[in-house]
């Protein structure tokens, strides 16, 4: 991976961007894409859009979400311990013993999520993961009054775990979901800008996906594209304890996935498959989620129906603080998207023939 691209990825991953507080990451993303776009816009809630060749046709929206999951201060007790609510799908079982950054009006306050030592746990009782309201943050204050001078109800919280390479091309960080996507769409724009683009390209990073697919709805309203591609992470099922008969077979390092069904438009998808074959980019296939959705789900029903597809980066340990991906999958996703955009010509449409 080129040095500037790796620096973008590192910058995005290390920036605190819990849903509703994405500006630090969005600034890094905007600065990077500005070199490859005709125009970069942001809106009232901090969504960002980089536009290339606005007079082109068809109009294509390539999207990823800018936010990560986190916590928010809900209550500070008299002893100075801090209780939280979730921002997005946090698993209370994996947060004990973690370091956190509390983003206050006066700057970052470091804390730790406390845990009762194993020595004091009731060995006869069945071991259960704590509920979120049973977990608390310790910022080292002597009492509640001292803690309230540093931290306020509503302050957002991120986990400390930053970007680190585990091997030549496998990396871990909190929040690869979905800075992997934000990175891939920025890189796709860079690659498209090096070629002859006939389409009007709107590459965007949307806020607040993890709390209800919100920013994508704002972006799609503003852009009104002819077709859209959302880029997110997906759950790799190549680790111990996951039944692939139940959850499908997705591996890291085997290429991005194309999702089939529901929001994923069949004609647009055929086009993506064709491009992947022509460009010799390996892709994996998975079926649509029956338990959740990505921004693709929020986009496809707008404006009377927008042909939309989801491209995903396989990630291990999704929604933990050690999400783990293969960087080759990020690069391959960017190449696939760029090749698709460069293959488009004026008059291309995607309607299902009836
Ligand atoms: Zn995501």
Write down the domain spans for the chain.
3-68+174-343, 70-159
3-68+174-343 matches 70-159 in fold = no
The CA 283 to ligand 1 mean position distance, Å, reads 19
Helix or strand run (H / E) with residue 107:
strand 107-113
Place of tokens 């994508």: 216
Q: What is the mean pLDDT of residues 322-346?
A: 98
**Mean pLDDT confidence for 312-340:** 98
**If you measure from the C-alpha of residue 330 to the centroid of ligand 1, how many angstroms do you get, rounded to a whole number?**
14
Alpha carbon distance 215, 45 (integer Å) = 8
pLDDT greater than 80 at residue 253: yes
Over residues 132-148, the mean pLDDT reads 97
Checking if the pLDDT of 124 tops 80, the result is no
Active site residues: 209
pLDDT of residue 130: 83
pLDDT of residue 292: 82
pLDDT at 125 (0 to 100) = 74
CATH class given for the domain over 70-159: mainly beta
**Nearest alpha carbon to residue 321 among 136, 72, 9, 95:** 95
Encode pLDDT of 149-201 as tens digits.
999 999 999 999 999 999 999 999 999 999 999 999 999 999 999 999 999 99
How many angstroms separate the alpha carbon of residue 128 from the centre of ligand 1? 27
Calpha distance 63→306 (Å, rounded): 13
- 127 pLDDT higher than 80: no
The predicted pLDDT at position 90 comes to 93
Closest to 177 measured CA to CA, from 299, 316, 61: 316
Contact 58, 349 (CB under 8 A): yes
Span 210-230, pLDDT tens digits: 999 999 999 999 999 999 999
User: Residue 102's pLDDT is what?
Assistant: 98
Q: pLDDT value at position 336?
A: 98
Q: Ligand 1 centroid to 197 CA: how many Å?
A: 28
312 Cα–ligand 1 center, Å: 9
What is the whole-number distance in angstroms between the Cα of residue 319 and the centre of ligand 1?
9
- Cα–ligand 1 centroid distance for 293 (angstroms): 9
Q: Residue 118's pLDDT is what?
A: 84
CA distances from 183 to 64, 122, 231, 275, 333 (A): 9, 46, 10, 21, 10
Rounded to two decimals, what is the model's pTM? 0.97
In the chain, which residue ranges form alpha helices assigned H by DSSP? 3-14, 23-33, 144-150, 176-193, 215-223, 244-247, 266-278, 295-299, 327-343
Look over the chain and give the mean of its residue pLDDT values, rounded to a whole number.
96
Does the pLDDT at position 121 exceed 90? Answer: no
Q: How confident is the model at residue 74 (pLDDT cuts 50, 70, 90)?
A: very high
Architecture of the domain delimited by 3-68+174-343: 3-Layer(aba) Sandwich (3.40)
Ion ligand 1 residues within 5 Å by Cβ: 177-178, 232
């Amino acid at each position: 991976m080129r040095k500037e691209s790796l620096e973008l990825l590192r910058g995005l991953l290390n920036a605190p961007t819990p849903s509703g507080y994405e500006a630090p990451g969005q600034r890094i993303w905007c600065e990077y894409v500005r070199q490859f776009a005709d125009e970069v816009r942001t809106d009232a809630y901090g969504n960002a859009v980089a536009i290339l060749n606005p007079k082109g046709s068809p109009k294509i929206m390539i999207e990823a979400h800018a936010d990560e999951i986190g916590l928010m201060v809900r209550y500070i007790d008299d002893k100075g311990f801090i209780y939280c609510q979730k921002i997005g799908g946090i698993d209370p079982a994996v947060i004990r013993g973690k370091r956190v950054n509390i983003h206050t009006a006066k700057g970052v306050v470091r804390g730790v999520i406390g845990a009762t030592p194993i020595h004091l746990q009731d060995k006869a009782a069945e071991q259960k993961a704590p509920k979120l309201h049973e977990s608390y943050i310790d910022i080292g204050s002597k009492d509640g009054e001292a803690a309230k001078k540093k931290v306020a109800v509503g302050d957002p919280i991120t986990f400390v775990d930053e970007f680190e390479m585990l091997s030549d091309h496998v990396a871990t960080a909190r929040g690869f979901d979905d800075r992997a996507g934000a990175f891939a769409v920025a890189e796709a724009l860079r690659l498209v800008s090096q070629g002859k683009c006939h389409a009007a390209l709107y590459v965007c990073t949307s806020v607040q996906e993890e709390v209800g697919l919100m920013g994508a709805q704002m972006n799609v309203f503003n852009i009104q594209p002819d077709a859209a591609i959302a880029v997110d992470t997906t759950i790799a099922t190549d680790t111990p304890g996951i039944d692939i008969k139940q959850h499908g077979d997705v591996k890291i390092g085997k290429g991005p996935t194309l999702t089939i069904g529901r929001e994923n438009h069949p004609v647009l998808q055929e086009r993506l498959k064709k491009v992947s074959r022509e460009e010799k980019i390996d892709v994996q296939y998975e079926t649509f989620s029956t338990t959740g959705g990505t921004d693709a789900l929020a986009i496809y029903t707008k404006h009377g129906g927008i042909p939309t597809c989801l491209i995903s980066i396989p990630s291990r340990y999704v929604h933990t603080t050690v999400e783990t991906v293969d960087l080759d999958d990020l690069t391959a996703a960017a190449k696939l998207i760029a090749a698709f955009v460069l293959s488009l010509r004026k008059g291309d449409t995607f309607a299902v023939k009836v």
